[in-house]
Structure formats: C-alpha cells, structure tokens
C-alpha cells in the first residue's frame, strides 16, 4: 500500500513540475567551444522557445549556476582547467550536480570509451553516456528529445491516455495557468 502511495506521489510531483512550466533549461558544458555553440544553435532551432540553453566552457562556471530549475546538463566528461578548484573528474562533477539537484538529467558526452568510467557515470546518476564519434551528434539529439518529451510519455504510460490526449491536456493546463496569471495580474492592476 505504501509503495503505491509513494509511486503516485512521485508521479504527481513529476506532472506538477511539467505543468508549472513547459520550458526546459539545458546546460551545455564542454571545453570545445565550437561544439558547444553548434549544439546550442541546433537545440534552439529544434525546440524554439520551449528550451533555454546555457553554455559553459568549464565545469566551475556550470556548477556555480546549477540550481533547482536546471533540467538537463550535457557534460563533457573530463576538463583541464588549471584555475578551477573543482575536481577535473567528470564523474565528480556529475555527483556535484546531482547533489545540488537530484532531478537534473545529466548526459555525459565524452571521447572516453573506458567501460569502468561509463559504468561509474551511470551508477552515479548519469541519464545517458554518449561516446563522442560519428553517431554521437544524432544520439545526443535523440537523448534530448527523449528527456524533453518525457511528461507526455508519463501520461500515456501511467494514465493510459492517448498521445494526442496527453499533448492536449498538457497544453490545456499550461494555457489555464497562463490565463489565470494574466487575469490575476490584470485585476491587481485595476
């Protein structure tokens, strides 16, 4: 009985987070500036105003900005920042992000193929570990799409509604919140 209650409370929490805001915050962290900028442009082009991207070229600046509103972090695994007081180990950075916000989805994006590093990353809370290479760009985009569309999958899976109905309900709830806020502020001004 308590397991069902805990599960339904967890599900309610996820749906409440989605209905509060459809906007997804994505942090892109890597020392390769051209890759970071290209990925930011691609994400913004694909998702438009539903996604806000923040770019960082070292882990220290990322960790200073991670908060409760951070939804996704795409993290290059190892950094060489001699001025940083943070460990240059990508797994340690992952653990720090998860400590700040356990709900943040972290995608490790690295050229390191060592199975021990991959397993440790996944055990430490990484949502996905993508090895940099020819297919990594498309895998990275698929992982982001999967994370961004997660609320719809939750409604389809848990409440057995059609995909169309899930999208309709999320849109309806979002519009209801917007109308409420507009009316609320309108009557405060008058």
The tens digit of pLDDT for each residue in 161-177 reads: 787 787 787 788 888 88
pLDDT, tens only, 94-148: 999 999 999 999 999 988 888 988 899 999 999 999 998 888 888 988 888 888 7
Contact indicator for 89, 61 with CB cutoff of 8 Å: no
If you average pLDDT over every residue of the chain, what do you get?
80
Q: Are residues 162 and 68 in the same domain?
A: no
Residue 160 belongs to what domain range?
153-189
Residues 6+ apart with CB under 8 A from 71: 24, 25, 26, 103, 104, 105, 147
**Nearest Cα residue to 168 out of 159, 142, 131, 121:** 159
The domain total for the chain is 2
Count Cβ atoms below 10 Å from residue 131 Cβ, excluding itself.
Answer: 16
The verdict on 173 and 89 lying in the same domain is no
3-state secondary structure of 18: helix
Is 29 in the same domain as 77? yes
Rounded CA gap, 183 and 139, in Å?
43
Residue 92 lies in a domain: yes
Residue 182 lies in a domain: yes
In this structure, the answer to whether residues 92 and 185 fall within a common structural domain is no
Is the pTM higher than 0.85? The answer reads no
Sign of torsion over alpha carbons 130, 132, 135, 141: positive
- In a domain, residue 7? The reply is no
User: What is the share, in percent, of the chain residues with pLDDT greater than 70?
Assistant: 82
More confident residue, 155 or 126: 126
Give the pLDDT confidence score for residue 185 in this predicted structure: 79
Q: What is the CATH number of the domain that holds 91?
A: 3.40.50.2300
Q: Would residue 12 count as lying in a domain?
A: no
Answer yes or no: do 84 and 164 share one domain: no
Q: Is the pLDDT of residue 3 over 60?
A: no
Summarize the confidence of residues 59-82 as an average pLDDT. Answer: 80
């Amino acid at each position: 009985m308590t397991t069902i209650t805990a599960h339904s409370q967890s599900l309610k929490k996820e749906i409440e987070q989605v209905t509060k805001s459809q906007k997804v915050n994505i942090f892109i962290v890597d020392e390769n500036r051209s890759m970071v900028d290209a990925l930011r442009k691609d994400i913004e082009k694909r998702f438009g105003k539903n996604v806000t991207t923040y770019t960082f070229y070292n882990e220290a600046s990322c960790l200073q900005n991670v908060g409760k509103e951070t939804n996704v972090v795409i993290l290059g695994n190892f950094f060489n920042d001699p001025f940083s007081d943070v460990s240059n180990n990508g797994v340690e950075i992952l653990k720090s992000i998860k400590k700040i916000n356990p709900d943040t989805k972290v995608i490790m994006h690295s050229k390191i193929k060592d199975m021990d590093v991959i397993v440790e990353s996944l055990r430490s809370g990484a949502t996905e570990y993508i090895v940099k290479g020819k297919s990594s760009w498309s895998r990275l985009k698929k992982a982001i799409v999967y994370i961004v569309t997660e609320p719809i999958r939750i409604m389809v899976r848990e409440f057995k509604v059609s995909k169309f109905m899930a999208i309709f309900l999320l849109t309806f709830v979002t519009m209801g919140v917007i109308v409420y806020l507009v009316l609320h502020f309108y009557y405060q001004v008058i």
